[in-house]
Structure 1
Amino acid sequence: MNTQLVESVIQLIRSLSPEEQAILQEKLFFDFAYPSTPDLITLALRGGSFEFLNDEPDLYSLTDGEPIPCP
């Protein structure tokens, strides 16, 4: 492990302004925590997991039945 490099990076991070530290923190911890909505849509469209729904008949519409109450 390169301890000197780690210490240099820590020193550099501490020298950043609070705004710069916030941007760095966002980039490190929030950008890759979850897939983005466009990534999820692309995965659903290209992955084929929902292809079976293309063969399902349209049984219901928004005007059918009554709403189900939440407990």
Structure 2
Amino acid sequence: MNANLVESIIQVIRSLSPEEQAVLEEKLFFDSDDPSTADILALALKGKGFEFLNDEPDLYSLEDGAPIPCP
């Protein structure tokens, strides 16, 4: 094992900004070929497949049912 290389990589990672560390973490642990949530949302909005919901009546209000307790 190359301990010097590992130590150098750790120093580089610690020198990154929080945003850069988040991007690195995303690439290392979550990068996949699956579409992201943002991609799916953009597709749903652009495809207008849910436009019919704009014409649906509002059946519920904040006054309906029992309140949900906050911890």
Provide TM-score, normalisation by structure 2: 0.44
